[in-house]
Structure 1
Amino acid sequence: MNIKYLTKASLIAAIYIVLVILQLLPLPLANLTFGPIQLRIAEGLTLLPLVESAAIPGLFVGCLLSNLLLAAYSGFGLLDILGGSLVTLLSAYLTRKMPNKIMGMLPPVILNGFIVSIWVSFFTRVPYFYTVLGIGGGELASVAIFGSIILFVYEQAISYRDY
């Protein structure tokens, strides 16, 4: 790994953390950061592995640190801190392997929807199927809307830099 790679990964992690923390400030969106219905704006960053390999460790570290820093807020403990972060790592890796943006949306939506819902459903006592819909649907909205914007801006910045 070189300094440029580590810097990019660190910046992506920092942006992830800042987005999660900022989302906690406005009360209407705060309840969507953790729980059976999730719409984490930071999850829009999960499309970055399509164009930037440093996003894989960056997303993992960002998710890990934000879950750790906000563990008291989520109430899901170590399972969410480690489990959610590992799901993010796996989905980022799989997204990197996808041929296009549409296919790249599938790993974070499917993995978060079906895996994270296991413990969120258990702790909240919301039926698993509804939790899958709440987390998967929120993930889809985040990735499709915010992820598309983030990917577009990133690609524009890269193409502008090349001039």
Structure 2
Amino acid sequence: MRKNNIQFITRTALIAASYAALTYAFAWMSYEQLQFRVSEILVLFAFIEPKYGLGLILGCVLANLASPLGVIDIVVGSFATLLAIMFIVMVRKLLGYNIKALIIASLGPVVSNALLVGLELTYLFSTPFLLNAFYVAVGEFVVVTLVGTVVVNSIMKNNILIERLSID
């Protein structure tokens, strides 16, 4: 196996484990209607290195194994993460590697989770979709857009760290 294949597998596993561990550590605020899933900050790592996408999706699957909502949350949450990552990578390709593009990219997870998880909650609990979507969007916006962009922008300014985070 070549060095970059081993590096990819290792980084994918580390990102997946980190996402799941952060979700479990903050489980009390990670699974409800108004959720502040701290691990969602890591989704913006796909802006730094698009190859982290697989690890983020796997991390979401692992994290949602503990969800009180069951298998539906594994499927819906992971699909929302996939869509968010696709949006993040697309924004980076179209707008470049800068803070403005990062902020716009951060809205992908907000929208995908609000719509898909909002629908999931409506299906499971027969509660109003707009209310569910709003609550999910608020949590995602706070964690990903307000906090995540500050964290990831700080990382982006550190060339040594960016070099270490890249997968060759």
TM (normalized to structure 2)?
0.81
The match for 2:62 among 54, 61, 65 is 65
Q: Which amino acid aligns with 1:144?
A: T
Distance 2:150 2:42 in 1: 10
1:82 is aligned to 75
Q: 1:54 is paired with a residue of what secondary structure?
A: helix
- Contact 1:50 / 1:97 at 8 angstroms: preserved in 2? no
Range 142-151 or range 56-65, more displaced: 142-151
- Contact 1:36 / 1:121 at 8 angstroms: preserved in 2? no
Distance 1:3 1:96 in 2: 23
Distance 1:146 1:21 in 2: 19
Q: 1:45 Cα deviation (Å)?
A: 1.2
Distance 1:143 1:79, change over 3 A: same
1:43 is aligned to 40
Q: 1:48 Cα deviation (Å)?
A: 1.1
2:166 is aligned to none
Q: 1:153 Cα deviation (Å)?
A: 4.7
Question: Is residue 17 of structure 1 aligned with residue 20 of structure 2?
Answer: yes
Q: 1:35 Cα deviation (Å)?
A: 2.4
Stretches of structure 2 lacking an aligned partner (at least 5 in a row):
96-100, 164-168
- Contact 1:63 / 1:84 at 8 angstroms: preserved in 2? yes
1:160 is aligned to 160
Q: Which amino acid aligns with 1:3?
A: I
Stretches of structure 1 lacking an aligned partner (at least 5 in a row):
25-29
Q: 1:90 Cα deviation (Å)?
A: 1.8
Alpha-carbon deviations, 1:105-136, whole Å to 9, x = none? 12111110011111112223331111111001
1:27 is aligned to none
Q: 1:160 Cα deviation (Å)?
A: 2.2
Alpha-carbon deviations, 1:75-120, whole Å to 9, x = none? x221111121111012112211112112111211111001111111
Q: Which runs of 4+ in 1 moved over 4 A?
A: none
Q: Which amino acid aligns with 2:8?
A: Y
Q: Which amino acid aligns with 1:82?
A: V
2:103 is aligned to 102
What root-mean-square deviation, in Å, do the aligned CA atoms of Structure 1 and Structure 2 show? 1.8
Q: 1:34 is paired with a residue of what secondary structure?
A: coil
